[in-house]
């Protein structure tokens, strides 16, 4: 009869062989997905820039490979910031995915890597306005089989990709997602804040305003808190 120590070791090795290997596969797929995403972003920059100069040469289109986990696409006055998380996540059991046959068949399919996409004002980076707000517009989840789904309030994307895909993530999927994100970013306007919200300002804020980092700006919200985001974006 094996000792308690042997049983524990067997449990540890079993977990390593199942969950740890699975998480390594998810992470590898997330890296692969992010690499594909960067290729699509580069292609998108070239395609849009080539046509935008015919509209107005002042329109700036630029893709930046910031690092292994970060990429940016600047389109006119907007920046889409793509950030790949390095960890693997599981979902709460109340999540709707656990009702699907795909997850019931193998619950290991529910573990995912995440690519977050934020929308910022381009001027926030240009003028180093560190207090400016950016907003999460989309999250791409990728699992061990390279299947994916997204969370977003952009209706055109939510309609198509709110559940796990039946096929692995491709450049065509990413192209569609990026195009919709660009459309949303351009359409999502900066609204002036209500007068009463910004009628008071401290001496320090005025004295330091040349640093462009004190008075906070964000799309639609002006200087309002992010707690109002759900009500204000009106998606």
What is the count of structural domains for the chain? 1
215 within domain boundaries: no
What sign results for the dihedral spanned by CA atoms 113, 67, 177, 138? positive
User: What is residue 215's predicted lDDT score, i.e. its pLDDT?
Assistant: 58
Q: Is residue 17 part of a domain?
A: yes
Please report whether residue 200 resides in a domain.
Answer: no
Whole domain around residue 126: which residue ranges? 7-190
Separation between Cα atoms, residue 108 and residue 82, nearest integer Å = 26
Q: Which DSSP string corresponds to 27-73? A: HHHHHHHHHHHHHHHHHHHHHHHHHHTTT-TT--EEEEEEETTEEEE
Buried b (16+ CB within 10 A) or exposed e, 155-167: eebbeebeebbee
Does 198 fall in a domain? no
Question: 12 in a domain, yes or no?
Answer: yes
Is 59 within the bounds of a domain? yes
**Global confidence as pTM:** 0.83
Position 123 in a domain: yes
Nearest to 45 by CA among 61, 57, 60, 67: 61
232 inside domain: no
Report the distance separating Cα 137 and Cα 70, nearest Å: 16
pLDDT in tens, the chain (235 residues): 568 888 888 889 988 888 999 999 999 999 999 999 999 999 999 999 999 999 999 999 999 999 999 999 999 999 999 999 999 999 888 988 899 999 999 999 999 999 999 999 998 888 888 778 888 999 999 999 999 999 998 999 999 999 999 999 999 999 999 999 999 999 887 776 667 766 776 767 666 665 555 556 766 644 333 334 343 333 3
């Amino acid at each position: 009869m094996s000792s308690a120590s042997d049983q524990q070791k067997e449990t540890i090795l079993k977990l390593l062989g199942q969950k740890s290997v699975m998480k390594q596969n998810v992470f590898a797929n997330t890296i692969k997905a992010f690499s594909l995403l960067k290729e699509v972003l580069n292609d998108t920059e070239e395609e849009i820039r080539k046509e935008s100069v015919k509209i107005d040469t002042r329109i700036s289109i630029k893709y930046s490979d910031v690092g292994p986990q970060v990429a940016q696409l600047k389109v006119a006055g907007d920046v889409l910031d793509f950030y790949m998380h390095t960890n693997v996540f599981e979902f709460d059991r109340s999540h709707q995915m656990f009702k699907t046959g795909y997850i019931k068949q193998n619950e290991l399919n529910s573990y995912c890597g995440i690519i977050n996409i934020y929308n910022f004002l381009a001027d926030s980076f240009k003028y180093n306005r560190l207090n400016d707000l950016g907003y999460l517009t989309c999250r791409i989840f990728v699992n061990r089989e390279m299947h994916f789904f997204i969370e977003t309030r952009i209706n055109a994307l939510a309609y198509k990709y709110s559940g796990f895909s039946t096929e692995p993530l491709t450049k065509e999927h990413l192209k569609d997602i990026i195009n919709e994100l660009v459309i949303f970013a351009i359409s999502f306007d900066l609204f002036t804040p209500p007068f009463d919200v910004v009628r008071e300002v401290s001496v320090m804020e005025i004295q330091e305003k040349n640093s462009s980092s004190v008075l906070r700006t964000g799309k639609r919200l002006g200087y309002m808190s992010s707690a109002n985001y759900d009500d204000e974006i009106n998606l």
